[in-house]
Structure 1
Amino acid sequence: MSNELRHTPNQQGISLDRAAYAVAGKLILSDLSFALSERRIAIIGRNGSGKTTLLRLMAGLVAPTSGSVLVDGIDPARDRKAMLDRIGILFQNPDHQIIFPTVAEELAFGLQQQGRTKAEAASMVEDLLARHGRSHWLTATVHSLSQGQRHFLCLLSILAMKPDSILLDEPFASFDQPTVTRMARIFDQLQQRLIFITHDARTASSAQRVLWLEAGQIRADGPPARVLPEFEAEMLRLGSIDADTDIAF
């Protein structure tokens, strides 16, 4: 079994205390207070509810405009180096994440940021690709990969660094069913804490805990059996009216 499958996440987890985030005076997230330590957590909500912004906040890609965000007791926006082995984020669009022209360079970058030498990183990349049946990608250019393959490359880049938690932004969006099945199998095997955002209640049903984000605030937080029926009923209600008229961002 590969090293990333044996990984055990830090139990301290991710915590927010009255965290808020605004852009140009426009409030996107407000008064968020919760602690996440479960292994499988879903964040659900309509498009425009602030889900992706929340992931970016937890990853430290943006800092809260008020309140605090801590990952294992550390401010992720202030100490990016400490986050390298604590948290990774997989965006919906791989082209927003990939920065190098070749597979080998893309996979080695994070490892070198963690302090591995160029030779050590190269060896680890070769081993990682072999474990996942992708040894033939070692000399490939990124542009030669399909979108689904680039998405998997981004996941491999994260797994190479062995973070405690992985944040997933709509992980199954735009994939065909075979790819969805394959990615779901991979996610299910991982021992890392997975926090994924989705607007699909079926995807969220596999989580241990579900947070329903509405207009930048937590509307419900609990087990899927309690949160999802209320969420689905509200989505059906909104579907019968002009549901998007109240969304301002």
Structure 2
Amino acid sequence: MRWGRRGAEVTAAADLPRTALELQNVSHAYGDRPVLHDVTLTLGESRVGVVGANGSGKSTFARLLNGLVVPSAGTVLVDGLDTRTQLREVRRRVGFVFQDPDAQIVHPTVAEDVEFGLTNLGVPADERARRVEDMLARYGLAGHHDHPAHLLSGGQKQLLAIAGVLVMQPQRVVFDEPTTLLDLANTRRVARVIDELEQHVVVVTHHLDLLTGFDRVLVFEDGRVAADGAPAETLRWYVDRLS
């Protein structure tokens, strides 16, 4: 591992591919409250985990990756596309799954909610129908086509939120604490879903077991990347830090 400011490992962008998520000297504040400080990273790996205490900046970092948040300073690039000026194309490439699926489910029935993004993209009706049915079958929701979305269980709602993102066929998916509100059985189910995805993923989580088999883990602390490296070593560092 290589270590930088405050003993943190820092990964240089030099030899990583342009088909990547890049943060260049990124800082962000909400009003007078700074939450991220001068973060520079290039993420080209298939599986990236993000951990840190509440208030460490990790959720703001996640929202930067598809333009839900635009940095106060610096630049965020997705495959070379600037989230400030090319937001529509960025969001075609990067899907986002929220911690609370109720923040993401906007339509009254299950099928309508999955179809919503495809309608906005102008996908033809027959293609929309096929893709919606495929997603519902894939995530065990085929029998809930016309079911009121708000009456689903918590686990089903999270699967619906995931289906609504994946039906858009993004190249990457960012998950912001996707299992925090779930019981153990549904946590394991969502973990399997993430594990089986073909897309590149970034997963922000307090559940460290979700990151088994990942390529890289970032630890955020006080708005900075405090450690960055292979999961086993980085998570050991993080757990020791909490002791």
Query: What are the equivalent positions in structure 2 for 1:66-81 lying under 5 Å apart?
Result: 66-81=73-88
Query: Is 1:114 matched with 2:135?
Result: no
Q: Choose which of 21, 25, 38 in structure 1 pairs with 2:28.
A: 21
Decide whether aligned partners of structure 1 residues 115 and 11 sit closer, same or farther in structure 2, where only a CA change above 3 A counts: farther
Does structure 2 conserve the Cα–Cα contact (< 8 Å) formed by 1:44 and 1:204? no
Does structure 2 conserve the Cα–Cα contact (< 8 Å) formed by 1:103 and 1:141? yes
Q: Distance in 2 between matches of 1:67 and 1:84?
A: 19
Aligned twin of 1:179 = 186
Q: Give the unaligned 5+ runs of structure 2.
A: 1-16
SS at 2:19's partner residue? Answer: coil
For structure 1, which segment, 79-88 or 189-198, has the greater mean C-alpha deviation from structure 2 after superposition? 79-88
SS at 1:181's partner residue? Answer: helix
Deviation at 1:196, TM superposition (A): 0.6
Question: What do the CA deviations read for 1:42-89 (whole angstroms, capped 9, x no partner)?
Answer: 111011101111111111011101000011111224323213431011
Does structure 2 conserve the Cα–Cα contact (< 8 Å) formed by 1:84 and 1:114? no
Query: Is 1:218 matched with 2:220?
Result: no
Aligned twin of 1:55 = 62
RMSD of aligned Cα (Å): 1.7
Decide whether aligned partners of structure 1 residues 26 and 208 sit closer, same or farther in structure 2, where only a CA change above 3 A counts: same
Q: Give the unaligned 5+ runs of structure 1.
A: 1-9, 237-249
Q: Distance in 1 between matches of 2:51 and 2:27?
A: 18
Aligned twin of 2:45 = 38
Does structure 1 conserve the Cα–Cα contact (< 8 Å) formed by 2:158 and 2:178? no
Query: Is 1:193 matched with 2:200?
Result: yes
SS at 2:123's partner residue? Answer: coil
- Aligned-pair identity in percent equals 37
Amino acid paired to 1:47: N
Does structure 2 conserve the Cα–Cα contact (< 8 Å) formed by 1:85 and 1:163? yes
Decide whether aligned partners of structure 1 residues 131 and 151 sit closer, same or farther in structure 2, where only a CA change above 3 A counts: closer
Q: Distance in 2 between matches of 1:208 and 1:196?
A: 12
Q: Distance in 2 between matches of 1:137 and 1:26?
A: 43
Count of aligned pairs: 227
Does structure 2 conserve the Cα–Cα contact (< 8 Å) formed by 1:60 and 1:77? yes
Query: Is 1:227 matched with 2:222?
Result: no
Decide whether aligned partners of structure 1 residues 129 and 202 sit closer, same or farther in structure 2, where only a CA change above 3 A counts: closer
Q: Distance in 1 between matches of 2:134 and 2:231?
A: 38
Deviation at 1:11, TM superposition (A): 6.9
Q: Choose which of 82, 94, 97 in structure 2 pairs with 1:87.
A: 94
Deviation at 1:133, TM superposition (A): 3.6
Decide whether aligned partners of structure 1 residues 234 and 133 sit closer, same or farther in structure 2, where only a CA change above 3 A counts: closer
Aligned twin of 1:242 = none
Amino acid paired to 2:97: L
Does structure 1 conserve the Cα–Cα contact (< 8 Å) formed by 2:66 and 2:91? no
Amino acid paired to 2:57: G
Deviation at 1:119, TM superposition (A): 4.1
Question: What do the CA deviations read for 1:2-25 (whole angstroms, capped 9, x no partner)?
Answer: xxxxxxxx9712000000111112
Q: Distance in 2 between matches of 1:233 and 1:127?
A: 44
Does structure 2 conserve the Cα–Cα contact (< 8 Å) formed by 1:47 and 1:199? no
Amino acid paired to 2:19: Q
Q: Choose which of 97, 104, 109 in structure 1 pairs with 2:111.
A: 104
TM-score scaled by length of structure 2: 0.87
